[in-house]
Amino acid sequence: MIIVNSILDLRSTISAWKQSGLTVALIPTMGNLHAGHLKLVNTAKQKSDKVVVSIFVNPTQFGVNEDFASYPRTEQEDQLKLAAEHADLLFLPAITDMYSVNALTTVNVSGLSDSYCGASRPGHFSGVATIVCKLFNLVQPDIAVFGLKDFQQFTVIKTMIRDLNIPIELIGVDTQRESNGLAMSSRNNFLTDSERLLAAQLYQTLCIARAAILAGQQSYLDIEQQALQSLKNIGFVPDYFAICCCHNLTSATQQDKDIVILAAAKLGTTRLIDNIYFSL
């Protein structure tokens, strides 16, 4: 596996691949890799000739009082995991490589970025869209692979690709879960042992809500309110629990056939997100 830090080396390597007619997949990450990330690498290898993984803890997607400084950084372990999965190139840029001191340009996907996690974390999705757009520009991949655990993020990126006419195929990969259903996440490292046991009930609450919809319960608002109360009873501090149309994340109606249920809640000091999507 090639490891590069500079943009010049990144572009030089990828240019040689492209001249040889090879296809390239990109997986943007913030490191602290787990089995979910490695599943993305596996998927990318099936879809392309060369797989590029970036590790960059992006400061612009963290808000005031969020965990940028304490976000887990495990660069050495990550390199070993990616090499074992036969990733072709690891891009490890510095903040100064990705953002000039006087940078004035950001990318914002209006509407989609303002609700759910966007409402709780103002500016978060602008930070995400900006850094992903930069990485797309640097790598020029044919394919980009993202996990679907952050369904809102995936929808923001999908919309940005469409609106800016970026010639990239976007592939979403199902959430990798622990044996108890907890969605794998770098932030799970912040959970205590007892919180980790409780955390799986976020997914269980999503499953209960899905079952109610599939059983024909008509009031989505009632399902949402019951779920929020259930999470509070367990010990969560819910942020939102929303039944949405998969395509644009607006509140779902009885006419919508493709549904995603989005949820975010704090357990102790750790903010967890999860979702479940299905068709009627």
Q: Catalytic positions, please?
A: 37
* Helix (H), strand (E) at residue 119: helix 117-120
**Quick one: tokens of 207?**
């499953």
Contact 178, 199 (CB under 8 A): no
Neighbouring residues of 257: CB distance < 8 A, sequence distance ≥ 6: 279, 280
Contact 244, 261 (CB under 8 A): yes
Alpha-carbon span 221 to 224, nearest angstrom: 5
Please spell the DSSP secondary structure of 67-81, one letter per residue.
STTTS---HHHHHHH
What's the residue count for the chain?
Answer: 280
Contact 196, 182 (CB under 8 A): yes
Using alpha carbons only, what angle is made at residue 87 by residues 84 and 89, rounded to the nearest 5 degrees? 130
Alpha-carbon span 214 to 221, nearest angstrom: 15
Using alpha carbons only, what angle is made at residue 97 by residues 190 and 139, rounded to the nearest 5 degrees? 90
Alpha-carbon span 16 to 182, nearest angstrom: 41
Alpha-carbon span 122 to 114, nearest angstrom: 7
Positive or negative, the Cα torsion across 34, 39, 9, 62?
negative
